[in-house]
Chain A
Amino acid sequence: MKEKKHVLWELFKATFMLSAFTFGGGFVIVSLMKKKFVEELKWLDEDEMLDITAIAQSSPGPIPINASVILGYRMCGIVGSLVAVLGTALPPMIIISLISYFYAQFRSNTVISTALMVMRAGVAAVIFDVVINLAKNVIATKRVLYICLMVVAFMAKVLFSVDAMILILACLGIGIADLIITLTKNEKKERVKEGANI
């Protein structure tokens, strides 16, 4: 029981801090989550985090909220989901409520706008760090199919701005095709074996 409370508190703290420091779109918070929950806390393995990202991206609603729901569910069931969502939703709510009162001052403050501008360099460094680790692991599978998928998907997104959803669906299709091919191959092998036995 104490253990569960501890996990819930850690979950809240982690999601709150990540959400408070995440500038930029949904994939930014996902890379921060990967760093926090996979590398630091070691609660999840890397594949799991990537699956969660795919599900979060393909479901309606904000990606950080979607990812928190799944992550929380994995750690402590529905209570975990509620705690993680609360942690993720509170920082933007607090910040925006404050800013909506001081909007004019906020917008004209050069220190704040400079800080927010330069922070992007730090955010970019964090994402690159995470992506280097992730890409290394894709290469380590030594499957040409996966390495090609990664390169092609990256080019498609960067050069032709193909929609993320379409890329995910396409890879899902390729995954299913891959499954069917391996299954039929195995079946053939078994038949050959049976033939040899007779």
Chain B
Amino acid sequence: MSILTQLFLSFIKVGLFSVGGGYAAIPLIQNQIVDVHKLMTMSEFTDLITIAEMTPGPISINSATFVGTRLNGISGAILCTLGCIIPSFIICLTLAHFYYKYRNFSGVQTVLSALRPAVVALIGSAGLSILLLGLFGSEKITSFSSIRPIETVLFLGCLYLLRKYKLSAIKIIFGSGIVGTIAYFTMNLLII
């Protein structure tokens, strides 16, 4: 079996067994790429995770692209990414089909109604951890004095703009990046 076919199969495994998204996939990818196929050293893999955290997009897609590009350029990237998408595609398509077939039954609605508050809570907790990461630089607060002023002002400003003027998410995220970076560099200049 060629190495590309093996990798394709490896990423199918990653796609199939990483339930819960993102971080659940990291040990699986590490196992396939570093331990089984020895395509990367552990320190390269750590770099990959750093890049994946800094760039948009799911970690498994990011690493599939990274490993694939290294091995066989763009066609490698496409093949590996396909591998980690195919299981999701088939499973979710089936679930979507049944969901839309049965969602209007009142019994199904009763059961789903109990699920929705939990989903709201999960989104809320994801928001809280990214807020702590943004304002304190870590998800665990050591002391309130380590709060970063620029990020705090940005967060409050963005939230105000979102609530009051209903700006789109992309404008807010992009805008916060530009304003925040300018603020950081001006502050550095002033201090020096």
* Chain A interface (Cβ < 8 Å from any Cβ of B): 17-28, 30-32, 35-36, 39-40, 47-48, 50-51, 53-66, 69-70, 73-74, 78, 81, 85, 89, 91-93, 95-97, 99-100, 103, 106-107, 111, 113-132, 134-135, 138, 141, 145-147, 149-154, 157-158, 163-165, 167-168, 170-172, 174-176, 178-179, 182-183
Contact = CB atoms under 8 A, between A and B. Distances in A.
A123 B120 contact: no
B135 A121 contact: yes
Is chain A's binding surface mostly helix, strand, loop or mixed? Answer: helix
B56 A182 contact: no
Q: Name the interface size band of chain B.
A: 35 or more
Interface stretch (B2-10, B31-39, B169-177): B169-177
Interface of B: 15-23, 25, 47, 50-52, 54-62, 65-66, 69-70, 74, 77-78, 81, 84-85, 87-89, 91-93, 95-97, 99-100, 103, 107, 110-128, 130-131, 133-135, 150-152, 154-155, 158-159, 162-163, 166, 168-170, 172-181, 183-185
A111 B155 CA distance: 20
19 contacts: A25-B126, A47-B116, A54-B118, A61-B88, A81-B93, A93-B81, A97-B65, A99-B51, A107-B50, A115-B180, A118-B177, A118-B183, A121-B135, A124-B127, A126-B169, A127-B131, A157-B122, A171-B115, A175-B110
Contacts of B47: 103, 107
A149 B117 contact: yes
Which of A30, A50, A170, A182: most chain B CB closer than 10 A?
Answer: A50
A168 B21 CA distance: 14
A162 B131 CA distance: 19
Contacts of A70: 92, 95-96, 99
A100 B70 contact: yes
A52 to B, nearest CB: 8
A154 B96 CA distance: 26
Is chain B's binding surface mostly helix, strand, loop or mixed? Answer: helix
A81 B97 CA distance: 12
A48 B106 CA distance: 14
A182 B110 contact: yes
A153 B159 CA distance: 24
Contacts of B168: 35-36, 40
Contacts of B91: 59-61, 66
A66 B25 CA distance: 14
Contact of A24 (B74, B119, B130, B151): B130
Q: Which 3 A-B pairs have the closest CB atoms?
A: A92-B57, A118-B180, A122-B176
A118 B154 contact: yes
